Amino acid sequence: MVNLEWYRTFKAIYETGTLTGAAEALYISQPGVSLHLSSLESYVGYKLFDRTSRRMVSTERGKTLYNFILEALLKLEEAEHHFHRSTEKDTPTISIGMCFETFQITLEPYLPELPFNVIIKFGEYPQMIADLDNGILDLIITPQKDGNKNLEYRAFSKEVIVLVAGKDTDISGFQEFHGADPKLMETWLKQQRWYGTTGDMEHLIRFWHANFNKRPDFKPNYIVPNLSSIVRCLSSGGGLAIVPDFLCKREMERGEVKMVWEGNPKIENTLYFACRKGTIYGKEIELIKTVFEKEMA
């Protein structure tokens, strides 16, 4: 089925005559408008506009399509206005990509205070970077970056991948072996109860390989939905886990989770803000950045 947003974008281009005008009318980025149009043209199998230096001129088939869908789209827009009550007209909508845990720890409490609409997307970082370049996302929080010249990266924080334990975990055995024999350290660790997340053991695998020069040859005892769940479980009792340090900073300060080992060498990730150069949402994005810099200082 055709994405309804493709039709809405097509209508906006037809009525404004430019990609920029359509982007401003829909409060999305110009690359997003281009992506919607190319997707629709690919679907229908023919050009809908002739591109000139100044305007997008509708083809005959474009005119036919416009006349065919106009009444239905107007009816949908009428329904939207009727059933959606907004305190402010023409409010910008910013689409942001990040991992679930980062959102929960930093931005989630601030959402009711933001003076614009926000769409949050979770996913894999390479896909987020591609969506940012294509105009689907306006800002991403990422430990990865590429060489795309259309994107702008700015480092703002670091996270250290660490071994932590619940407050009730006896770690005296590990402290006895720590710094002595890596094999004894590994043996003690494998005898403990571990937490992991569904389908993502990246932190555990990286930490184990960096410190013991091999992949972990055991499975966690408890598999939970995400890293935030792990921290909550550790706060309630015992067990071990490998997590980014910023996710359990508050719990460690309260004594609910304790640091066991930062590893040798430490595994650090630099976190970046990434956005498109020349974005029309510079003011809104700067406000989001301020929130992250405050919470992850």
CATH no. for residue 57? 1.10.10.10
Q: In which domain, by residue range, is 55 found? A: 4-83
Q: Are residues 174 and 256 located together in one domain of the fold? A: yes
17 within some domain = yes
Q: Are residues 247 and 165 located together in one domain of the fold? A: yes
CATH no. for residue 184? 3.40.190.10
The mean pLDDT value for 98-119 works out to 92
How many domains, the chain?
Answer: 3
End-to-end CA distance of the chain: 45
88 within some domain = no
pLDDT band at 91 (very low <50, low <70, confident <90, very high): confident
Please give the model's pTM, rounded to 2 decimal places. 0.63
Q: Are residues 119 and 216 located together in one domain of the fold? A: no
Q: For 35-65, write each residue's pLDDT tens digit.
A: 999 999 998 999 999 988 788 999 999 999 9
More confident residue, 229 or 180: 229
Q: Are residues 164 and 180 located together in one domain of the fold? A: yes
pLDDT at 1 > cutoff 80:
no
Q: Are residues 28 and 165 located together in one domain of the fold? A: no
Q: Are residues 166 and 117 located together in one domain of the fold? A: no
Q: Are residues 171 and 262 located together in one domain of the fold? A: yes
Q: By percentage, how much of the chain surpasses pLDDT 70?
A: 95
Q: Are residues 17 and 58 located together in one domain of the fold? A: yes
Cα distance between residue 260 and residue 92, in whole Å:
45
Q: Are residues 20 and 97 located together in one domain of the fold? A: no
Q: Are residues 133 and 52 located together in one domain of the fold? A: no
